[in-house]
Chains A and B, each alone.
Chain A
Amino acid sequence: MKPSIVNAGADAVIVYFADEISIEANQRVLQLDSAIASSDLAILETVPAYSSLMVYYDITRHSDTDIRASIKAIIESLPELQQVNAEQGQTHVIPVYYDETVGPDLARIAELHGCSVEEVIERHCRDSYRVYALGFAPGFAYMGEVAEDLQAPRLDSPRTRIPAGSVAIAERQTAIYPLASPGGWNIIGRTTFPLYEPQKGILNQLNSGDTVRFKAISKDEFITAGGSVEAFE
């Protein structure tokens, strides 16, 4: 698909590199994001997502027509991606306490794939995941791709309250709930990895393009790290 630049409001445009999830499109998004940041365009902020980049600009300095032409020129000048596997970001290891008290969907996923709960945990820790996008809520990172032998559809009816730090799977994606909130993803464990603590000024250390690995820890390690085994309602 050829990149397209579409209006996204009075002060923004959005650039689409693909209409589905792919590492290459996501790398293109980040490539354009940094090229725009180092250009002399008057940019207010950008929102990189899976395969699109939204660009807010200063309308007192660029018109809609003008910014489209400038962004088009930047896209055309982008160098070829070296190789699809080139890692652009940092690597994070996130400790997770996997247990049915804090991961009520472990057994269901095991049943879905005809394996044991232990195997579900091993599979989640086996692969590394790319951070495709941050957003929806502060600190929420969309990570993928979850292997086929671990994927699970969203719940038919979302839970009304998922505790902060819950590690979740939905289809090909995995994520951590930064704050207690309603949600329909499958919950498999809990982490103390700080994602969003507004009172302490902590905001997500993860960035788009980073790599994440999950590491299973014991209940003792989890509690020592300040974890809470608060049960689901």
Chain B
Amino acid sequence: MIEVIEPGMYATIQDFGRLGYLKKGLTRGGPIDENAFLWGNYLLKNEAGAAQIEIVLGGSKFKFTSAAAVAVCGADVSLKLDNEDRNIWETFQVEAGQVLSIGPARSGLRAYLAVAGGIQVEPQWGSCATVKREQLGGHRGDGSALQKGDTLAIEPSTCELTQRIPWRYRPDYSKPPVLGLIPGFQYDQFAMAEREKLSFHEYKISQQSDRMGIRLEGPAIEYAGKGLVSEGINIGSVQVPPNGQPIIMMNDRQTLGGYPKLGNISPLDLSRLAQCRPGQTVQFTRVEVAKVQQQLTNYYDFFGITPACQTDH
């Protein structure tokens, strides 16, 4: 088991997310830096979607009551196992009784703690992803974050050989990311000069960003098209509310909404966006959907993700 000694600012259980219930109003949830999450499970040879702990800004302490192979990926945090240093982006062994301390993030925002076999949490509607707004998921099944004294079930495991992510695959979260925009939804209903604003200006991450949406601050984008009837929203959708400041919708987005949208950010770039801190700047560039689909197909293939087709629930 893992005992939560100190959860830090905000730590939640996330698996790959709740898929197939958008029709009923349930959002996906899941890791908002999917890339770091997938690397963690890859290192430990877990199933791609095995549950991990998503830790915002670090400052967490966990006591292990059984031995486990673990890996921490994502934000640049310092790791101490009892008093010894450990590295992120690689596997290591934790013995029963040891305490893993995750220091404050030096760059990036979210770190993922993965254990071999995944954290064992009862799924609700197919997933244990924590969605606070829906009072759903997580170890209590009510959308709550980890609290001091909570215990999480894991399977005992051993780390035979250290596995590392090669340096070239480790993102540098301190650099401003370039986000690929696939034009879509109401893109054509924005005036040319308005839709070009994203490409020609830098936008700053606002303080008011969370797992639902990342708000940007920059030159206001005007929408003079017809008012919308509520419609579906994708993860990565770039919404433009009446104040003209774009919001990029993330994993906990509401399933329907009525603001106009310029299109969608490539899923491969959302992981970098998820690691941006308030005040950091981002840039945009237009990308072709065909190219993004090719990259995504390779990515799914590498991490062993099979999209789950379903026609009914």
If A45-B20, A46-B23, A198-B124 touch, whether A14 touches B231 (CB-CB below 8 Å) is yes
Contact status A198-B289, CB under 8 Å: no
Q: Which residues of chain B are near A45, meaning CB under 8 Å? A: 19-23, 310
Extra A-B contacts (16), CB below 8 Å, given A138-B136, A199-B142: A7-B185, A7-B263, A9-B235, A10-B289, A11-B296, A46-B23, A49-B231, A50-B230, A51-B231, A59-B297, A59-B307, A137-B25, A138-B21, A142-B230, A198-B136, A198-B143
Q: Which residues of chain A are near B182, meaning CB under 8 Å? A: 7, 9-10
Interface flag for B285 (CB, 8 Å): no
Q: What bracket does the count of chain A residues touching chain B fall in?
A: 35 or more
Interface flag for A167 (CB, 8 Å): no
Interface flag for B200 (CB, 8 Å): no
Q: Which residues of B, 263-313, contact A by the 8 Å Cβ criterion?
A: 263-264, 266-267, 289-290, 292-293, 296-297, 300-301, 307-312
A189 to B81, CA, bound (A): 56
A142 to B20, CA, bound (A): 20
A46 to B229, CA, bound (A): 17
Residues of B in contact (CB 8 Å), total 53
Q: Closest Cβ of chain B: how far from A187's Cβ, in Å?
A: 20
Q: Which residues of chain A are near B256, meaning CB under 8 Å? A: 47, 49, 133, 135-136
Interface flag for A21 (CB, 8 Å): yes
Q: Closest Cβ of chain B: how far from A165's Cβ, in Å?
A: 14
Q: Which residues of chain B are near A11, meaning CB under 8 Å? A: 234, 267, 296, 307
Contact status B310-A65, CB under 8 Å: no
Interface flag for B101 (CB, 8 Å): no
A-B contact pairs, 8 of them (CB 8 A): A6-B184, A6-B185, A43-B309, A64-B293, A137-B133, A137-B254, A142-B230, A198-B143
A210 to B231, CA, bound (A): 18
Q: Closest Cβ of chain B: how far from A160's Cβ, in Å?
A: 15
Interface flag for A52 (CB, 8 Å): yes
Q: Closest Cβ of chain A: how far from B98's Cβ, in Å?
A: 34
Q: Which 7 A-B pairs have the closest CB atoms?
A: A54-B232, A7-B184, A135-B256, A9-B264, A47-B232, A9-B234, A135-B255
Q: Which residues of chain B are near A204, meaning CB under 8 Å? A: 24-25
Most buried by A among B20, B21, B134, B256: B256
Q: Which residues of A, 55-89, contact B by the 8 Å Cβ criterion?
A: 56, 58-60, 63-65
Contact status A138-B142, CB under 8 Å: no
Contact status A37-B290, CB under 8 Å: no
A65 to B293, CA, bound (A): 11
Q: Which residues of chain A are near B293, meaning CB under 8 Å? A: 10, 59, 63-64
Q: Closest Cβ of chain A: how far from B127's Cβ, in Å?
A: 12
Interface flag for A20 (CB, 8 Å): yes
Interface flag for A188 (CB, 8 Å): no
The contact string, 1 if C-beta is below 8 Å from chain B, for chain A 1-28, is 0000011111110100011110000000
Quick one: closest B residue to A139, CB to CB?
B25
Contact status B232-A52, CB under 8 Å: yes
Interface flag for A134 (CB, 8 Å): yes
Most buried by B among A47, A196, A204, A208: A47
Interface flag for B236 (CB, 8 Å): yes
Interface flag for A112 (CB, 8 Å): no
Quick one: closest B residue to A33, CB to CB?
B23
Q: Which residues of B, 140-165, contact A by the 8 Å Cβ criterion?
A: 141-143
Q: Which residues of chain A are near B257, meaning CB under 8 Å? A: 136
Q: Which residues of chain B are near A58, meaning CB under 8 Å? A: 307, 309
